[in-house]
Structure 1
Amino acid sequence: MSTLLLRLAAPLQSWGVASKFDTRDTAREPTKSGVIGLLAAALGRSRTEGLEDLNDLRFGVRIDQPGTSLRDFHTARLNEQDPPFVTTRYYLADAVFLVGLEGEDDFLQELIEALENPVFPLYLGRRSCPPAGRLVLGLRERDLPQALEEEPWQACEWFQKKNVEQIRLTIVYDAQPNEQGAFLRRDLPVSFDQRHRRYGFRMVRDIAEAIATRAPQHLRELPTGHDAMAGWGD
């Protein structure tokens, strides 16, 4: 068993957990249903195909750069005669997450190939949120918690410059049976069929882990090259 690590970064992400039609929320980190949907899209699966093999993967997230909450709105109407109505959408701006998927090596390798050559477009929670930068970090011969704890900090350089000392990062992962501190979360996809989407519960646990990897020295002392007084002359 190994763990596949992904880096989920984009200008905008949105991971709904309790969305209603007129208000679409977002969780603070990627949901299992959202990431399973991304994997299913990469594999080319239809919405009516089974998800058992994907759900069996042990799933976890490390919040490397929490981003900021952004509220937006959309207008829509059923026809030209009716007045438009407003829907509220929430996003995470400039967030970066480390996602881990623990499973059999052969299946994880299949997922890597699919993510690098996806059948359908990939997006981070909503179609308006395509991923940016490198997505697949590779396999680690570690269990899920250890892989998430040991991987170097994935935050953007500008964010690392602001947080150059040791930082504590939140890790949320699928709990083992009878694991202390676990709680229920309803984001396990049973079916993505648009006629009857269904979600089940999973047991999760979250911890705050101190990441020993600090921003590299060159990030801490990098000059900007900007002279604020240059325009004043002598």
Structure 2
Amino acid sequence: MSVLLMQLAGPLQSWGASSRFARRSTESAPTKSGVIGLLAAALGRERTDDIADLAALRFGVRVDQRGTPLRDFHTAHHFSGGEAMPVSERFYLADAVFVAGVEGETDVIDTLHRALRQPRFLPYLGRRSCPPSRPIDLGVHHDQTLEEALRGEPWHAAPWHQRRRRAEPRIEAELLLEATASDGPTDSLRDQPLSFDPRHRRYALRGIRRAPRAILINPAARSMPHDPLSVLGGA
């Protein structure tokens, strides 16, 4: 088994799991359906193609920078005719950073890694209006479990966010792992993809285990010089 890690960072992200009609919500962290969709696009698959092999991968995510919820009041008109479309509310996460991972057979993970480095279709962070601002690929870990890989990856928060928390040499990051049969009671989310066919999109419930938080090193704190006189206002 191997693990592919991905950096999901951008001005806006939106990971919907319960959007209905004119209200397009977002979860507080990337969904499995959204990340599997990103990988399917990188492979060049059409929305009507079978995704059972990708859906079988185990998924996890680490919250490096939670971001800020943002609401957009959305209006649109048909290109031909000009009639108005229904008014909608769309929700996003601004300035968020996540590390996501998928675990599976080594040949499948290696194929996904190559596709991620040379994607057939452009990747986006939940919606087409949300392009990534950094390279997504964080490499493959062949000798680690999903949880070990997520815990061992350096902190990827934005430099300004790292400096803002420079008083904290160690950072606690939330870790959300796809539950296994032995995990007992878990949270659940309807983001297990069954089909992306636009005529009949289908998703199933997926168990989520909130693992003990990952402890990460803050490089901004490590490099900060110690100045005991700084509290005296420039002495």
Q: What corresponds to 1:156 in structure 2?
A: 158
More deviation, 35-44/213-222: 213-222
Write the deviation string for residues 9-57 of structure 1: whole angstroms up to 9, x where unpaired: 0000000111112110000000000001000100011111111110111
Aligned to 1:89: 90
CA distance in 1, matches of 2:48, 2:84: 35
Contact kept? 1:189, 1:199, Cα under 8 Å:
yes
Partner of 2:117: 116
CA distance in 1, matches of 2:225, 2:69: 30
Shift, 1:80, TM fit: 4.5
Residue 77 of structure 1 deviates from its aligned partner by: 4.1
Aligned counterpart, 1:129: 130
More deviation, 92-101/169-178: 169-178
Q: Does 1:5 align with 2:9?
A: no
TM-score, normalisation: structure 1: 0.89
Unaligned runs of 5+ in 1: 223-234
Query: Take 2:109 and 2:13, find their aligned partners in 1: how far apart are those partners?
Result: 24
Partner Cα separation in structure 1 for residue 205 and residue 123 of structure 2: 25
Instruction: Report the counterpart of residue 229 of structure 2 in structure 1.
Output: none
Contact 2:175/2:214, CA 8 A, preserved across alignment: no
Q: Secondary structure at the match of 1:119?
A: coil
Give the distance between the partners of 1:57 and 1:210, measured in 2 at CA.
22
Compute the RMSD of aligned alpha carbons.
1.9
Report the alpha carbon displacement of residue 6 of structure 1 after superposing the two structures with TM. 0.6
CA-CA distance at 1:180 after TM superposition: 3.1
Tell me the distance in 2 between the aligned counterparts of 1:212 and 1:82: 52
- Partners of 2:30 and 2:164 lie apart in 1 by 24
Paired with 2:214 and 2:198, the residues of 1 have a C-alpha distance of 41
Q: Hey, what's the Cα distance between the residues in 2 that align with 1:201 and 1:130?
A: 27
Aligned length: 222
Q: 1:157 to 1:50 in 2, by over 3 A?
A: same
Say which SS state the counterpart of residue 87 (structure 2) adopts: strand
Amino acid at match of 1:215: P
Note the alpha carbon deviations across 1:200-223, whole angstroms, 9 max, x for none. 11111113414141224565359x
For 1:226, the equivalent position in structure 2 comes to none
Q: Deviation string for 1:121-162 (max 9, x for gaps)?
A: 111000001111121110122101111112111111111111
Q: Is the 8 A contact 1:153 1:211 kept in 2?
A: no
The 1:83–1:182 alpha-carbon spacing in structure 2 relative to 1, beyond 3 Å, is: closer
Quick one: which amino acid aligns to residue 116 of structure 2? L
Equivalent position of 2:147 in the other structure: 145
